[in-house]
Amino acid sequence: MGQSCVELLLPMAKLVKGLATGAVLRIVTDDPAAREDLGAWCSMTGNELAFVDRKVGYATYYVRRGALS
């Protein structure tokens, strides 16, 4: 929390690469631009933004590793 989504993308990409195809990474952030940024990143990398759980002040994003990523 407290980091922008852009600051999280590189470490997140490394974590996703270490996952098996179909595995899910949970990301919690308070960055309001995260939904758009993560969605675009998933589209470009062959991953899936599987679920978004929005709460007051933060959201939890679930990114599923795709077969092509």
The residues pairing with 29 across neighbouring beta strands, listed in sequence order, are 59
Note whether residue 69 is domain-resident: no
User: How do the pLDDT tens digits run along the chain, 69 residues long?
Assistant: 555 556 778 888 899 999 999 999 999 999 989 999 999 999 999 999 999 999 999 999 999 999 976
pTM, two decimals, is 0.86
Domain that holds residue 26: 5-64
SS3 at position 64: strand
Query: Residue 27 belongs to a domain with what CATH number?
Result: 3.30.110.40
Residues 14 and 47: their CA atoms lie apart, in Å, by 13
Q: Is residue 46 part of a domain?
A: yes
* Number of folded domains that form the chain: 1
Closest Cα to residue 23, out of 67, 52, 64? 64
